[in-house]
Amino acid sequence: MTSEPPARALFDQALIEEATKKSGLIWVRGDQAPAARPLWHVWHDGAACLVGDGPGEQPLTGLTDGGAAEVAVKSKDKGGRVVTWRATAHRLAPGSPEWEAAVAELKGKRLNAPGGEEITARWARECAVLRLVPTGVAPPPAGSLAEPPLPTPATTRSPVPAALPRLLARRRKRA
């Protein structure tokens, strides 16, 4: 005999795990953050593991130990939202068995890591390693979630100079 709530909870858990495993980035908004941020992660042992808040690493703005977070997972191929789930953030203590296991997974997925072999020692000294443990699926959002972009020192694209199309046309004729 099966009851409806446990079956729904298992479905939600499977959806969260599969969608998050397949996604390269997750959008995370901590309870202290004004907006969601894209973060790279690794799914390990029933939670999304993140590393950041150190030099050369992603900012974990608004995520505090024991704090709540909302995680949006998008489809890798279509870009649409697959699921939004609630989580509790847990900071892992450097050197603990949980930290070692999470860092081993994160190290394998970290692209272009400065320091190479010394990365785990640097993460232990200078960074935070967090686990986002799912607590349930969030209800679908009402309306558009479009927000203005976060401030950045990056420059925007300037208009194309008026003479550029003519210059490019000349190059094509010569070739």
The CATH number given to whatever domain includes residue 93 is: 2.30.110.10
- The single-letter DSSP state of residue 20 is H
The answer to whether residue 160 is domain-embedded is: no
Query: What separation in angstroms does the CA of 99 have from each of 51, 63, 95, 124?
Result: 11, 17, 6, 9
**Partners of residue 27 on adjacent β-strands:** 38, 72
Whether 84 shows a pLDDT value over 90: the answer reads yes
Task: Write out the residue range of the structural domain in which residue 65 sits.
Answer: 4-141
The answer to whether residue 15 is domain-embedded is: yes
Which amino acid type is present at position 132? L
The total number of structural domains in the chain stands at 1
The answer to whether residue 101 is domain-embedded is: yes
Dihedral over Cα of 137, 103, 58, 131: its sign: positive
Question: Which of these ranges, 2-6, 7-11, 78-82, 141-145, has the smallest mean pLDDT?
Answer: 2-6
Choose between 117 and 128: higher pLDDT. Answer: 128
Whether 1 shows a pLDDT value over 60: the answer reads no
Angle 32-71-92 from CA coordinates, rounded to 5°: 70
Give pTM, 2 decimals.
0.77
